[in-house]
Amino acid sequence: MIRKLLRRVFKRGEPTPHKVETIGPDQHGIRVEGVSPGARRTCITLQEAGHRAFVVGGAVRDLIAGITPKDYDIATDATPDQVRHLFRRSRIIGRRFQIVHVMQGAETLEVSTFRAAHDEDTLKDEHGRVLRDNVWGNMEEDAARRDFTVNALYYDPSNGKIFDYHHGVRDLQRKTLRMIGDPRARYREDPVRMLRAVRLAAKLDLRLDPLVQAPIREMAELIDNVPAARLFDEMLKLLFSGHAVECVRRLREDGLHHGLLPLLDVILEQPLGEKFVMLALADTDKRIQAGKRTSPGFLFATLLWHEVLANWETRKKNGETPIPALHAAMDEVLDTQGEKLAITRRIAGDIKDIWLLQPRFEKRSGRAPFRLVEQQRFRAAWDFLHLRAQSGEAPQELSDWWLAFQEAGNAEREEMLKPDTTPKKRRRSRGSRGGKAGEEAAAVPPAPTFTD
């Protein structure tokens, strides 16, 4: 215990890899008015209580790059209990590393205490992934613990200065993504950093430093050790970054697409499958860049659709009834997916709704179209059909017909309906088991079922 304490005391006195740079507003270009009011209030409250507090990481990086941050993180020398005491609307979360969620109006700020450097006493698994990390340090150690240089930037809203310990501002200007420390060791500590490297490079149009890129392909299997829920969160960030097409392209180049979504690499090698998936990702990118709403359920439905199709076709060839076979195919694909990514029940429900409505688009007679347009997921299902038509998987005429039908009035809809030519079974006379009526009924063929 004494040796551990002495080691930390002397280690904290060691010099940092680079002399800290203090960069003023005229150099970094961040206007204090551009920082969220909640982040500013949180930092000022901590500073007035005698603590150091800074906006840190991705928010600072994005502000320098001219991108509006989605959220803000605060780094401080106050412990979680001290932070919790200062903010009435706050709560401590996390086990591996405790942080405090501070609510400022509609904003939720993540406030974390400066972290100490890892040592031999840090709890890790057999692959080197850090399991528990509630050891506090100083600002210099905290900067060294961050993953990439562009994320080790500390902005003080009280004076507009940035404290840069690892030349992160310079790397942003040079369009290079560099790792702090040895990339191989940092990937072992947290394999998600491989995905994060690809996402940040695509988002900020950065070139991966050769030392950062080189180990990724050979260490990609470490992703298997990441908890499913955490991997799912990181995949959502990647797919909804507004640069998903570029992210997937880079994932393929670095060999990280294999295994994240079952057989996604196989799908992307098929002409129809690749076209369908890339159309869906491009559409999602456009919506995000335009500030429109997006749906995780819809996007994952597109990514896994060809898995379902292949499974469904196999089941039908084995003699299973089409619609029950579709249900079984969906369940199997989502169960396989659940082993890798912890898709929530709500999102899984949205995915199934979109898939199950696809066969119903084939029915354009009787009252079926009226019932279909009243379904809660109809619009999402039609968007899905539209992508299928664009990729050549479904007839364009079918997509166009349903677009016209949903926009038409009742009278126009009645005109659009095709006559219902489905053969009807003649009802057998009550009490009759044979005779002419029974023979006529038996001669009528069964109604066709959806098979494609």
Active-site residue among 147, 164, 171, 209? 147
Pairing mode, strands 123-124 and 90-93: unpaired
CA 197 to chain centre: 15
Please report which confidence band the pLDDT of residue 184 belongs to, taking 50, 70 and 90 as the band edges.
very high
**What fold does the segment set 1-174 form as a domain?**
Beta Polymerase; domain 2 (3.30.460)
Active-site residue among 73, 283, 285, 350? 73
Do 1-174 and 296-416 agree at the fold level?
Answer: no
Residue range 301-358, pLDDT digits in tens: 998 898 899 899 999 999 999 999 999 999 999 988 877 777 888 999 999 999 999 9
Please report, for the chain, the start and end positions of each structural domain, with discontinuous segments joined by +: 1-174, 296-416
Query: Is residue 242 within 8 Å of residue 290, measured between CB atoms?
Result: no
Is 147 among the residues known to form the active site?
yes
Residue range 69-87, pLDDT digits in tens: 989 999 999 999 999 999 9
Residue range 85-144, pLDDT digits in tens: 999 999 999 876 789 999 999 999 999 999 987 555 555 555 555 555 567 889 999 999
Query: Is residue 172 within 8 Å of residue 64, measured between CB atoms?
Result: yes
Amino acid 316: pLDDT: 95
Place of tokens 């890892």: 118
Which DSSP helix (H) or strand (E) runs through 86? helix 80-86
Residue range 402-452, pLDDT digits in tens: 999 999 998 999 999 866 555 555 555 554 444 444 444 433 333 334 444
CA separation for the pair 364, 418 (Å, rounded): 6
CATH superfamily of 296-416: cca-adding enzyme, domain 2 (1.10.3090.10)
Amino acid 121: pLDDT: 56
Place of tokens 């195919």: 329
Is 26 among the residues known to form the active site?
no
Q: Which of 151, 135, 132 is nearest to 94 (CA)?
A: 132
Query: Is residue 348 within 8 Å of residue 405, measured between CB atoms?
Result: no
Is 73 among the residues known to form the active site?
yes
CA separation for the pair 354, 357 (Å, rounded): 6
**pTM exceeds 0.75, yes or no:** no
Name the CA dihedral angle for 354, 355, 359, 364, rounded to a multiple of 10 degrees.
10
Q: What are phi and psi of 409, to 5 degrees?
A: -80, 175
